Structure 1
Amino acid sequence: MDKRGNVRHSRSLQISMSAHRARHHGAPTFEDMHSKDFVQHDCTFAGHSLGEYSALTSIADVLLISSLVHVVYHCGITMHHAVEHDSQNGRNYAICTVNPSHILKMFNAAMPHEIVDPIVHRNDCLLEIINFNVEKVSYQLDYVGLVQHVFHINPDKGAEFVSQLANDKPGLLIDIQRVVDIFMSQNMIQSAMSFLLDALKDNKPEQGHLQTCLLEMNLIHAPQVTDAILGNEMFSHYDRPQIANLCEKAGYYEDLADIKCAVTHTNVLWLVNYFSHLTTKQSMTRMQEMLHVNMRQNLQVVVQVATKYSDILGAVNLIDMFESFKNFEGLYYYLGSVVNLSEDPEVHFKYIQATTRTGQIHEVEHICHESNFYNPEKVKNFLKEAKLADQLPLIIVCDCFDFIHDLVLYLYQNGLTKFIEVYVQRVNSVQMPQVIGGLLDVDCDETTIKGLLASVTGNFPIDELVHEVEQRNRLKLILPWLEARVQAGSQDPAVYNAMAKIFINSNSNPEQFLKENNLYEPLVVGKFCEARDPYLAYIAYAKGFCDDELIAITNDNSMFKQQARYLVKHRQPDLWSQVLVPDNVHRWQLIDQIVSTAILESTDLDDVSVTVKVFLSTDLPIELIELLEKIIIEPSPFSNNKNLQNLLLLTAIRADKGKVVGYIMKLQNYNVTEITKIATDHGLYEEPLTIYKKHKQHTNAINVLLEYIVSIDCGLDYVNKVNRPEVWSRHVNTQLDGLRVKDSINSYIKAADPSNFAEVMEIADHSFSIGIGNTIVDKKTMTYITQHIAKRKANVQQIIDDATHNCLKAAPGMTI
């Protein structure tokens, strides 16, 4: 203690403070807080500096007070001997405490500096504020100022001091660059290099500029140290181009081995440019040397050199170099830089190999999908052998180059069926048919296939799926899936084509399906049916109006009845012309079925009309007569059709006259005027007479008798039979023309027709009879005879006149 009783030495002060705190402040205060439940039972307590020891005693009960005094005493003794003392036991170090609250309530962090800084300036001494009892302010010792002060007093001690600081917490307590500047200001170059070598031993990236500085200093003052540093690879963050240039300028690297050593540790950009001065052989040799010396460190340089000079060095040589070191990482980076510029299949293949072996699966997927230059077979086999955990690259290759069957076979046989699902669900659902075909080829169980089908929501060509299962005779396998599609409202013809095929194969009432369903494709289903059931093929073709196919299948299978029905209902003149050509060997068989079956089954007048027109246009009168007899003479919906009856009579008039009278007697609803005219034009007279008699057109009938049959007696019999005035009136004209005066007078009397009495009287006065009995002379003959008689009468009259006037001369030998 001093004269005033104050404790001055640290060893005494620390004991007093610790004992006082533990006895009067720490323990009583803690007990009071604990009694009021302010302290948790499982909490942990600590102190700072001397307070740490007090906490161990008063709170944690780790140390007794006697032990506390012993420990703190030795702490004080240690601190006391840590600094030098003069002869009077004095020292240049002291510490004091200040309580700001005793000074000013508004005391802040700036105020202590306002007190301390002037003192330091006036006395040129070390005076630091080492602690602030101000909130959010912590102490940072100015070690640089401290070092400068030590160097000013004793440079050797200063060097020792900064070395201790660097080994303690380098970068935290002291700025290394500032320390180097202090060394250089003292011209202590060797000490600076030693300090840097020790301070930079952790080889941190942020110390790169200091590493460069140290190497520069050693190149100038201690080159052998530079060799040791580079040879041992102590530093890796220095400025490589700068150091390499300094090495070359200094002439330290003259032979190839030294150049290789320098290159190995030089900056990437400088190295890349350096290789431009080398031959191909030298470049390959030096890159191999770099990989041999330190593959990991030099790999980046080698890759960049290989990339830049790939065209000169040759991709094959570079690939061989990387493969000789089994460095697939380097090969991956190199090829990744050139693959997009190359069309060499080997480059693309090796890149796929490298990406696979380095685990760059996403890049494998990308190059397999985007590249068009690799050999797909080779890549496919490699990816199979690689047995990747993710088979997506193999899937992509097989999908792009249509190796679907190989893919399915490989995945299924290796128990990788989940990747089959990945393929059809995420990559390409369009290939689902080929996948199903492949699974069927490897005898995959039906449950797996059905589940796969049900899991795919994307669209794919159903007709191809049907083809795949159909050619393997497994159509029924997809029936549940097809039914689900139908239930979902699908109208895809391929769905219904498949269902039709299944019903046909299983004989599940296929005829009804083919007739009632309108969504399947008749041509497709018809082709399917041809070898199985020609009749079902006919139904399908008829539904789809597949004319050529229908004609072919019915001809080949002698299904002329079905062909005839189709022709009648289809009403296509062009198709009729096709089947009724004279050189059609099936023509008469077809006509027979048309006449005997198809036309009789028809209830549509248009069907019959078109058929009749076809028969007319193809000059088949006899067959047409037979056809019309079937639908007119025999009971049918068309028996009373006027046009058809007319057609039958007209056709018979032209082709089979012997049947006309029979038809006239059987038919009722025909055009009398038209038929009788045409019959008369064709030289048929009895038939019109029969028609007129049947329809009681007596005047027309007597006209036929008198004008065409030319029989007065038959006419007389007919008029006597009908005994109608108008008929007698018509008959009397014929009698007059035939100079049957007596008969004509009787006929006029019966006709009660006096219109021609003058003519009758004149003929009666000059009546004569010429002709053959029961015959009426035609008008031309009658005119000729009349004219000739008149001429002779004139001659007779002239002779009479000559005789009267005695003008006649006797002929030789005659007296009169």
Structure 2
Amino acid sequence: MDYINRLDNFDGPAVGEVAIEAQLYEEAFAIFKKFNLNVQAVNVLLDSIQSIDRAVEFAFRVEEDTVWSQVAKAQLREGLVSEAIESFIRADDATQFLEVIRAAEDANAYHDLLKYLLMVRQKTKEPKVDSELIFAYAKIDRLNDIEEFILMPNVANLQNVGDRLYDEALYEAARIIFQFIANWAKLASTLVKLKQFQSAVDAARKANSAKTWKEVCFACVDAEEFRLAQICGLNIIIQVDDLEEVSEYYQNRGYFNELISLMESGLGLERAHMGIFTELGVLYARYRPEKLMEHTKLFSTRLNIPKLIRACDEQQHWKELTYLYIQYDEFDNAATTIMNHSPEAWDHMQFKDVAVKVANVELYYKAVHFYLQEHPDLINDLLNVLALRVDHTRVVDIMRKAGHLLLVKPYMIAVQSNNVSAVNEALNQIYVEEEDYERLRESIDLHDNFDQIGLAQKIEKHELLEMRRVAAYIYKKAGRWKQSIALSKKDNLYKDAMETASQSGDREIAEELLIYFIEQGKKECFASCIFVSYDLIRPDVALELAWMNNMVDFAFPYLLQFIREYTGKVDELVKDKIEAQKEIKAKEQEEKDVISQQNMYAQLLPLALPAPPMPGMGGPTMGGGFAPPPPMGVMGMPPMAPFGMPPMGSY
């Protein structure tokens, strides 16, 4: 060190390097300092002696930019960000701005960084610098400076800066940036963060993006700003894909009434679609069931019916579910729902309309069971509607098994014209039980498809006379004459017996009945019987029986009638014969008149040429003689046949 201080004439840089290699750092520093090699000197302090304080002191002494720059770099490496930035400013060194920015951000030294960036900006036009400058302003809350800065010429990437400010939750600064660059979507998001919901809605309107609308809407919902949320929501629900998301967001937070109000407002939109009407129906099903039916009826053509059907089924709104099934032409499901969820879903008039349209035939009979159990007073009305579709035999069997056959008597009367055996037998059974013999006889007359003999056997011993009479009538219709007559005789119904015998056409039966009356001493009946069976009973038998049983007086009217009948017949025969003779004479006279007329016409015709001579007809004969001439007619001419024919005898 003594030599260094005393000697001047030596190669300072070379000796300084030798001193560093020999680790004589103080001597090296003294040599560089003596020869004014300030950069090398400060490097020895920083690198070898590692004393930043002495380096700073040395920099203050020499006041050289390069020295300050070296000090600043060393300070930056040591994490002395503020001191490093101050040193860079003293050095007027802008080359290390990237490292300085990075270090300042890590150390949150934005006040110092701001001074450095202002210095750097004077030397270079880098987007990074301007961008970091704005960010630094935001970090130290100098918003007015940001507004002034962006109004001046700059090369900052404002979009990136705005995004970065937003990510760093520097929303006021981000608002300034996004508003300046007219990025309405990000501005709306920023305003939402700032709780400036009205301004956020205005920004969203300018952005007109579904994503932005949803963000603002959901933020307003969370803040319970439902009026603003509805404004946003109306711009979202017109998109089918976003409607469900909005609905779920409201519902998950329990804002059912507000959501319903939003959907009701959406019905009046020009771009209202099926999804809005359907979603409102689903909401009514869940939260306002009293409005569901009215909504369904008003907008049935604009609903997604399957979706609403699922909602009504889930919420157990059976009446509305039935109506939707009908509108969707699912009549089988509608009928099943009504029957499974009566009385809530049941309406008689509606069920009748549905019942006639179902495709599954089994539902008809299920409906019969349902009405039998729930509404027996209306079962005939239902059956009359289904009369053309149901199997009457099966319906009768159902009612018979249930023990309520009498309940459907009006229905059976209405369909008896089909002449179904089961219906006929059921009605006949009812008439027998009710002893309504008039209806029973009418049924038997009009509808013959039933077990006639079985019914007759059932009622032939009935305590009511008219019923036994009906049994005799059935036997008569079935051709069992003897059984019918025997039953009528047993009940002293002689008129019926006579009529049956007459209708039988059997002479033996009629004469047996006649003998029965004689045996019973029924003289009047004897007289009536021979008249009723007039065509069957032989006259000689009738007269013989009357004479032998002293009943000639009662048979005398019959005898008179018989004589009168036969007299009439003889008269008719005589008359017929006379008329036949008259016809023969008239015919003969007519033939004579025809011949006379023919002769008259023949006389009026012109003369005919003589016929050529023929053997035996006049002229020379084969024997050489002459035949006699033909007879001459009027005026000496041969007679002519009528209408120009050759005269008779000319051949």
Provide TM-score, normalisation by structure 2: 0.50
State the match for 1:464 in structure 2.
189
* Residues in 2 aligned to 1:559 and 1:300: alpha-carbon distance in whole angstroms: 93
Identity %: 6
Residue among 350, 362, 365 paired with 2:98: 365
Q: Tell me if structure 1 keeps the 8 A contact 2:285–2:311.
A: no
Pick one of 731, 739, 749 that aligns with 2:476.
749
CA distance in 1: counterparts of 2:403 and 2:55, whole angstroms: 108
Deviation at 1:424, TM superposition (A): 5.3
Residue 265 of structure 1 corresponds to 13
Question: Counterpart of 1:693 in structure 2: which amino acid?
Answer: I
Which structure 2 residues correspond to residues 28-107 of structure 1 after superposition, within 5 A?
Answer: none
* Alignment partner, residue 660 of structure 1: 379
* Partner AA of 1:747 in structure 2: I
User: Alpha carbons of 1:563 and 1:464: their partners in 2 closer, same or farther (altered >3 Å)?
Assistant: farther
Deviations 1:496-526 (A, max 9, x none): 5489899x95899999866654465543378
CA distance in 1, matches of 2:189, 2:275: 22
- Letter of the 1:298 counterpart: N
Instruction: Return the offset for 1:680.
Output: 5.0
Distance in structure 1 (CA, Å) of the matches to 2:288 and 2:31 = 86
User: 2 CA distance for matches of 1:607 and 1:322?
Assistant: 98
Distance 1:355 1:385, change over 3 A: closer
Deviations, residues 709-735 of structure 1 (Å, cap 9, x unaligned): 695556865542334575464243244
Taking structure 1 as reference, are residues 700 and 613 closer, same or farther at Cα in structure 2, changes over 3 Å only?
closer
Distance 1:300 1:732, change over 3 A: farther
- Corresponding residue for 1:410? 143
Q: How many angstroms apart in 2 are the aligned matches of 1:317 and 1:716? A: 138
Contact 1:482 1:495 in 2 (8 A): yes
1:272–1:301 contact (8 Å) kept in structure 2: no
Native 8 Å contact 1:511 1:536 kept in 2: yes
Amino acid at match of 2:343: I
One-letter identity of the residue aligned with 1:749: K
Residue among 528, 535, 538 paired with 2:261 = 535
- Does the aligned pair in 2 maintain the 1:689–1:705 contact within 8 Å? yes
Q: Pairwise mapping of residues 720-735 of structure 1 onto structure 2 (< 5 A)?
A: 720-724=441-445, 727=448, 729-735=450-456
CA separation of 1:472 and 1:747: change in aligned 2, threshold 3 A: same
1:388 and 2:118 matched: yes
CA distance in 1, matches of 2:106, 2:400: 90
* Deviation (angstroms), 1:415: 1.7
1:721 counterpart letter in structure 2: E
CA distance in 2, matches of 1:393, 1:441: 18
Does the residue aligned with 1:621 lie in a helix, a strand or coil? coil
Partner in structure 2 of residue 524 of structure 1: 246
Give the Å deviation of 1:474: 0.8
Q: Please state if 1:622 is matched with 2:343.
A: yes
Residue 292 of structure 2, aligned match among 561, 564, 574: 561
In 2 relative to 1, CA 332–713 (structure 1 residues): closer, same or farther, beyond 3 Å? same
Change (3 A) 1:363 1:481: farther
CA 1:551 to 1:515, structure 2 compared with 1: closer, same or farther past 3 Å?
closer
Please give the residue correspondences for 1:169-184 in structure 2 after superposition, counting only pairs within 5 Å: none
- Alignment match, 2:358: 642
Superposed displacement of residue 364, structure 1: 1.9
Q: CA deviation at 1:338?
A: 9.7
Contact 2:189/2:215, CA 8 A, preserved across alignment: no
Task: In structure 2, give the amino acid aligned to 1:493.
Answer: A
- In 2, Cα distance between the equivalents of 1:462 and 1:715? 94
Distance 1:418 1:640 in 2: 80
**Does 2:39 align with 1:299?**
yes
Residues 531-584 of structure 1: CA deviation (Å, up to 9, x unaligned)? 76632246779976999998678766676428974998344676445423xxxx
Which residue identity does 1:622 align to in structure 2? P
Confirm whether residue 701 of structure 1 aligns to residue 423 of structure 2: yes
- Distance in 2 (alpha carbons) for counterparts of 1:313 and 1:745: 145
Unaligned stretches of 5+ in structure 1? 1-252, 484-491, 581-590, 768-816
Aligned twin of 1:171: none
SS of the residue corresponding to residue 625 of structure 1 reads coil
Q: 1:722 to 1:623 in 2, by over 3 A?
A: same
**Secondary structure, counterpart of 1:265 in structure 2:** helix
Q: Please state whether the residue corresponding to 1:417 is helix, strand or coil.
A: helix
Report if the CA contact (8 A) 1:331-1:354 is conserved. yes
Q: Secondary structure at the match of 1:691?
A: helix
Matches within 5 A, 1:442-461: 452-453=181-182
Give SS of 2:197's match. Answer: coil
Q: Normalising by structure 1, what TM-score?
A: 0.42
Q: Provide the residue aligned with 1:379 in structure 2.
A: 109
Report the residue type matching 1:605 in the other structure. Answer: Y
Contact 1:500–1:520 (CA under 8 A) maintained in structure 2 = no
| Cα 1:681–1:723 shift into 2, 3 Å | closer
Task: Work out the CA distance in 2 between the residues paired with 1:521 and 1:562.
Answer: 22
Instruction: Write the letter of the residue equivalent to 1:306.
Output: L
Deviation at 1:388, TM superposition (A): 1.0
Q: Contact (CA 8 Å) 1:405, 1:438: kept in 2 or not? A: no
The equivalences for 1:218-367 within 5 A come to 257=5, 265-266=13-14, 270=18, 272-274=20-22, 277=23, 283=25, 297-300=37-40, 302-303=42-43, 306-307=46-47, 313=50, 329-330=66-67, 332-333=69-70, 336=73, 346-347=79-80, 354-355=87-88, 358-361=91-94, 363-365=96-98
Aligned to 1:133: none
On the 8 A contact 1:335/1:351 being kept in 2, the answer is: yes
Cα 1:306/1:272, change in 2 over 3 Å: farther
Shift of 1:494: 1.6
Partner deviation per Cα, 1:399-443 (whole Å, 9 max, x = no partner): 6xxx8964775354662124898555463564586799945998x
RMSD: 5.9
Determine helix, strand or coil for the equivalent of 1:695.
Answer: helix
Equivalent position amino acid for 1:642 in 2: V
Answer yes or no: is the 8 Å Cα contact 1:625–1:652 preserved in 2. no
| TM-aligned CA deviation for residue 453 of structure 1 | 0.8
Q: For residue 481 of structure 1, what is the aligned residue in structure 2?
A: 206
Change (3 A) 1:620 1:257: farther
CA gap of 1:426–1:653, structure 2 versus 1, over 3 A, is: same
Question: SS where residue 624 of structure 1 aligns?
Answer: coil
Q: Relative to structure 1, is the Cα distance of residues 730 and 675 closer, same or farther in structure 2, using a 3 angstrom cutoff?
A: closer
Q: Give, as a single letter, the amino acid of the residue that structure 2 aligns with 1:417.
A: I
Q: Secondary structure at the match of 1:561?
A: helix
Q: 1:514 to 1:663 in 2, by over 3 A?
A: farther
Q: CA distance change for structure 1 residues 356 and 665 in 2, over 3 Å: closer, same or farther?
A: farther
Retained in 2: the 8 A contact 1:380–1:397? no
Instruction: Specify the code of the residue in structure 2 equivalent to 1:494.
Output: K
Q: Which residue matches 1:243? A: none
What one-letter code is carried by the residue in structure 1 that aligns with 2:202?
A: L
8 Å contact kept, 1:303–1:333: yes
Secondary structure, counterpart of 1:622 in structure 2? coil
Contact 1:689 1:701 in 2 (8 A): no
Aligned pairs for 1:780-795 within 5 A: none
Q: 1:375 to 1:461 in 2, by over 3 A?
A: closer
Contact 1:405–1:435 under 8 Å retained in 2 = no
**CA contact 2:29–2:41 (8 Å) conserved in 1:** no
Gaps of 5+ in 2: 122-126, 221-225, 268-272, 463-467, 491-651
Counterpart contact for 2:66–2:91, Cα < 8 Å = yes
Change (3 A) 1:506 1:377: same
- Alpha-carbon distance change, 604 to 423 in structure 1, aligned in 2, over 3 angstroms: farther
Kept after mapping to 1: 8 A contact 2:281/2:308: no
In the alignment, is the contact (CA less than 8 A) between 2:204 and 2:216 conserved in 1? yes
